[in-house]
Amino acid sequence: MTKAKTKSKAKTALQKVKFYQTGTLTVGNRLMDEDARSVQASMDRSNALTSGHRACQGCGEALGARYAIDAAMRAVNNRIVAVNATGCLEVFTTPYPETAWSIPWIHSLFGNAAAVATGVAAANRVKGRKDVKVIAQGGDGGTTDIGFGCLSGMFERNDDVLYICYDNEAYMNTGVQRSSATPPTARTATTPSVGDKPGNVFGTGKNLPLIAMAHNIPYVATASVSDLHDLETKVTRAMDIKGSRYIHIFVPCPLGWGTAAHDTIRIARLAMESGLFPLFEAEHGEVNSSSPIRRQVPVEDYLRPQRRFAHLFKKGHEDTESIARLQAMADANIKRFNLLRKHNQRDEL
């Protein structure tokens, strides 16, 4: 590890805080120093994605995007350009001539966000603008399927771009079709809950964070709207690194998943606490940190509140085999990323 990297890590590492009633689990905390609080707790956060956007009630993606872009803006003194793939995030924020973005923002095609971002970064380099950072962002469809070739190229060339994928596990904007990020057994418009094995099949799909790591890029991380402090720490760290960086953020979709609008964060938390969505970081292809599970739950707790998994829990016909296979996936994550290690939950005073 280079000297510069060590320094950046010290600056952005989650601070060890004393016991302050809620520790760092809440967005802010009146008992904590201002700079130990989250960006979202600040009265002058940038609200890069502002009010009036047309996302559904309780949209996880709208929330995740504001969390990430606000943190990125704080990290580099607001000097960013964002390139957006087609998808919900583009459609609900920017129905021309109106936009909810208060940053320089560009949209081209569904599949070319990574390539356009590469171009913006190249233009900046040519013009000698070292202070302006480039972020590319899109949903799981634009990232794992349609834009995958461009993204892989961007990684391979190590272009100076942070790519953020907001993963809601299907094409929500066009009517909830399956993507290669859709989990097994989930019902979508193209994987209906009919037949012997209803919903999406097992053994398909891609794990993009692991694919990104295989490109040996400087930084890969997963994050979730249910852990704001962790998300902000990762975005801040990514903004301090040069080269290709990738952050994959878990953002539940009330409409596509069939969950209550107020449950978005709770569902994301259950994904994290069941082990189905592990939070980790990797540098140059090596995992170097993960967030331990605080209160472990069985996958059933995560699946049951979602209508896209309702066919697993039909009265009298519970699909125990599929539930067990999903649990096995969670258990594999727990083992792989060491999520059940003891961690000191009680911050010392």
Partner 1 sequence: MKPFAITLDVGTSLANHTGSWRNERPVYLDRLPPCNAACPAGENIQAWLYHAEEGDYHAAWQEIMQHNPMPAIMGRVCYHACEGACNRGKVDEAVGIHAVERFLGDEAQKKGWTVDCASPSGKNVLVIGAGPSGLSAAYHLARLGHAVTIHEAGPFSGGMMRFGIPKYRLPREVLDAEVQRILDMGVTLKVDSKVDDIQALMKDGGFDACFVAVGAHLAKRANIPAGDASHILDAVSMLRGMETEAEPPLLGRRVVVYGGGNTAVDVARTAKRLGASEALIVYRRTREQMPAHDFEMEEAEEEGVLVHWLRTIKQIEDTTFTVEKMALNDDGWPEPTGEFETIEADTLVLALGQDVDTSFLEKVPGVNIAKDGVVDVDETMMTGCDGIFAGGDMVPAERTVTVAVGHGKKAARNIDAYLRRFRYKPPPKHEVAEFENLNSWYYTDADQRVQPALDLIRRQTTFQEVLGGLDETNALFEARRCLSCGNCFECDNCYGVCPDNAVIKLGPGKRFEFNYDYCKGCGMCVAECPCGAIKMVPEEN
Find out whether the peptide bond into 97 is cis, omega within 30 degrees of 0.
Answer: yes
Q: Which stretch binds partner 1 (CB under 8 A): 45-53, 171-179, 210-218, 299-307?
A: 45-53
The nearest distance, CB 109 to partner 1, in angstroms, is 22
The reply on whether position 342 binds partner 1 by CB under 8 A is: no
Distances (CA, A) of 203 to 152, 184, 326: 22, 8, 11
Q: Environment class of residue 252 by beta-carbon count within 10 Å: exposed (0-12), middle (13-18) or buried (19+)?
A: buried
* Torsional sign, CA 286, 292, 298, 302: negative
Characterize 136-170 residue by residue with b for buried, 16 or more Cβ atoms within 10 angstroms of its Cβ, and e for exposed. bbbbbbbbbbbbbebbeebbeeebbbbbbbbbbbb
The reply on whether position 137 binds partner 1 by CB under 8 A is: no
The nearest distance, CB 72 to partner 1, in angstroms, is 13
Residues numbered 280 to 319 that lie near partner 1 (CB under 8 A) are 295
The nearest distance, CB 38 to partner 1, in angstroms, is 7
The reply on whether position 141 binds partner 1 by CB under 8 A is: no
Among 54, 206, 284, 304, binds partner 1 (CB under 8 A): 54
The nearest distance, CB 271 to partner 1, in angstroms, is 14
Nearer to partner 1, 155 or 166 (CB): 166
Phi then psi dihedrals of residue 303, to 5 deg: -75, -40
Q: Which stretch binds partner 1 (CB under 8 A): 139-147, 239-247, 255-263, 305-313?
A: 255-263
Among 5, 9, 79, 336, binds partner 1 (CB under 8 A): 79
Q: Which residues contact 268 (CB under 8 A, 6 or more apart)?
A: 60, 224, 225, 226, 250, 251, 252, 277
The two three-digit tokens of residue 176, written as one number: 């909830």
Nearer to partner 1, 54 or 206 (CB): 54
Nearer to partner 1, 90 or 319 (CB): 90
Q: How far apart are CA 262 and CA 65, in angstroms?
A: 18
The reply on whether position 23 binds partner 1 by CB under 8 A is: yes
How would you list the strands of the sheet with 286-290, edge to edge? 105-107, 80-84, 133-139, 162-167, 245-250, 219-224, 280-283, 286-290
Q: Which stretch binds partner 1 (CB under 8 A): 53-61, 195-203, 240-248, 281-289?
A: 53-61
The reply on whether position 245 binds partner 1 by CB under 8 A is: no
Among 15, 26, 108, 296, binds partner 1 (CB under 8 A): 26
Q: Which residues contact 175 (CB under 8 A, 6 or more apart)?
A: 189
The reply on whether position 268 binds partner 1 by CB under 8 A is: no
The nearest distance, CB 34 to partner 1, in angstroms, is 10
The reply on whether position 36 binds partner 1 by CB under 8 A is: no
* H/E stretch holding 254: helix 254-257
302: how many CB neighbours lie within 10 A of its CB?
Answer: 24
Query: Residues interacting with partner 1, by CB under 8 A?
Result: 19-23, 25-31, 37-38, 40-41, 43, 46-47, 49-55, 57-60, 62-63, 66, 78-79, 81, 93, 97-100, 102-104, 228, 254, 260-266, 269, 295, 345-347, 349
